[in-house]
Amino acid sequence: MVPILMYHNVGEGERHLTVSPQALARQCRLLRAMGFHAITLRELGEQLQMERIARRVVVLTFDDALLGVYQYALPTLRNYGWSATVFAVSQRLGQETDWAPRYRHRVMSRQQLVDLHAQGWEVGAHTLTHPYLTRLPPEDAWREVAQSREELQQLVRAEVYSFCYPYGDFNGDTVQMVRASGYRVACTVHKGLACPQDDPFTLPRVPVACSDGATGLLYRLWRAWRRTRRCRTRGGIDEL
């Protein structure tokens, strides 16, 4: 079973969806002390396909490609030789978030996203504009899913392998759109640890709250393991 951690922003001050740089550093130290090393969601997806998951791996994902991720998470993870996956809203790069009006965050620029990718991070798609996909007409939902992949591939000059549903909003139709658009794996906001038996297009994650330090993360991992332990099989899946 593999924890896919769900972060949004990293920074000082505002707490909504924002983990402090100090808390992120403590969490990384904890993970390393527990024997984990971080891989990208693409790497995990490839391992899930082969049903041969490396021991003690963790995936750090950052939704929305917010500026604090570039400023703080990138150098923190670099200290450990780790990479992560960032889900970008392709038509909001270099702007402010407009999908949560009460909490405005700066989004990293196109060049910063390119630089992040050049330093080994995976760039996944998070649609064009961050809508609730199930509330859109099918043709608009398809454009949000498929065109965002095309735009990001042109920007980073690499395949965009992964997708994340905005707000965790999806149904059978949107999952099929993601599959048909060429993605190979997708994340939800459902809580739990990823197992080979999971549908690769509806993978669960472990949310990390702004108040979590190392102890808070440990508790969340334990809760996710309890929720998911029935997934254990004889296929060589490592336990936490």
Q: Is the dihedral of CA 166, 195, 118, 18 positive or negative?
A: positive
Q: What is the pLDDT of residue 232?
A: 53
Question: Domain 4-231 sits in which CATH superfamily?
Answer: Glycoside hydrolase/deacetylase (3.20.20.370)
- Reported pTM: 0.93
C-beta separation of 8 from 210 below 8 A: no
pLDDT in tens, 75-133: 999 999 999 999 999 999 999 999 887 788 999 999 999 999 999 999 999 999 999 99
Compute the mean pLDDT over every residue in the chain, rounded to the nearest whole number: 92
* Cβ-contact 126, 166 below 8 angstroms: yes
Handedness of CA 224, 216, 240, 53 (dihedral sign): positive
What pLDDT does residue 236 have? 41
d(CA 190, CA 203): 8
pLDDT of 51 over the 80 cut: no
How far apart are alpha carbons 111 and 114 in whole angstroms? 5
Enumerate the domain spans of the chain: 4-231
pLDDT at position 59, please? 98
